[in-house]
Each structure stands twice: as structure tokens, then as C-alpha cells.
Structure 1
Amino acid sequence: MFLEAWVARGSHRITDAHASYNGVEWLGYSREAYNHSTGHFGMSNHIECIWSAMKRHLRKRSGCVPTRHLASFLREWEARHNQQELFEFPLAYLRAMVATD
């Protein structure tokens, strides 16, 4: 099953209210659902925007969403997204990395 292979047990899933997301709570996943058809978007819209930005970044860098090195690409994108100030200037990034050792 996809969830068991790629999503850690105990993860909290934020989804829309589509029925395909039902029934996996017994596997150890919690769920927060937003019904788009009734105008409730909540955090599901936020995470969709984040995934969209990540895919645009990967396509811009490599022309596609690479699967061979996807984990490395995702870690880099996460760092660039969450710590933008470290990537604006390479010297600032290196100083920050040395300071953490």
C-alpha cells in the first residue's frame, strides 16, 4: 500500500473530503478533512500550494520531477523553502553550517 511504503505511521494527513481517503485510520494515520464542495478549504489548500511550488522548482531545475534522486531534491527544496536566508548568499550559508558543528 502506498501509505505504508511512503508515509510514516502516526502521520497526520490533511486532505479534502474525497471518499478515497477514508478507511486508513486503522493503519495508524490520523486525518483532517476539508470539504471543498461546501467551501471549506483550510490547510488542504495550503499544502497543495506548497506541493505546487516544489514541483515548479524541480521542473525548473531538472526539466521534470525526477524520481531517481527525488529524496535529495526534496531535502534541498525543503531547506531552500524553510531557510531562505541561508541560500541568498553562499557565504552566509557556509557560516551557518560551520556554526552548527
Structure 2
Amino acid sequence: MLFRAFVVAIIAAAATGCATPTSESVAAKWKGKNITEAVQVLGPPQSTMPMPDNITIYTWEEQFGSANAAVRGYCRTGLHVDHKGTIVAASQVSRSLLCK
């Protein structure tokens, strides 16, 4: 019975357009903003990685579900920031409907 309710909830979410964010939707949300705004919303990043052309990728990762689960949900968000602190691109890798 609980499984049936879960399946119905997933179908209803899909029908209303609830979906995992894509790199494009994450970029649309953050592109042009300063990295300090993202840090205020997302918290400190788990990592930063300098790239060529004075770009730094700030990365956040969230995991969902039990540590004993066969497959855990996760969201990995990367914001690509120029030398002025402006977000110029984004990437999202996810396996969860809970991604922001």
C-alpha cells in the first residue's frame, strides 16, 4: 500500500512538471549573479577547482536516502565563476527529484 502511494506521488509530480533541475535551468537561475549570492543560498561549497582562463568551479553536493540503500539519490551542482566573481555557467548532475 505504501509503495502504491509512492508510485502515485511520483506520477503526479511528473504530470505537474516537477522535474530534476538541468544544467540549463541551474545556469538560468545563477548566471550573471555574484558567487557570494550563491554561497548565501547554498552554503559554503564542498570544493573549488581553478580552471584555465581564470574560471573557478565551485561545487556543492547533497546526498539523499539511507547509507544502506542500494542506490542513493544525489545532486552535484557546479557554478563556473570568472575572475570578477560573476557566475558565467553552471552544471548539474543528479539522481534525485529533491535537487534545488
What TM bracket, shorter-length normalisation? under 0.3
- More strand by percentage: 2
What TM-score, normalized to structure 2? 0.23
Whose helix fraction is larger, Structure 1's or Structure 2's? 1
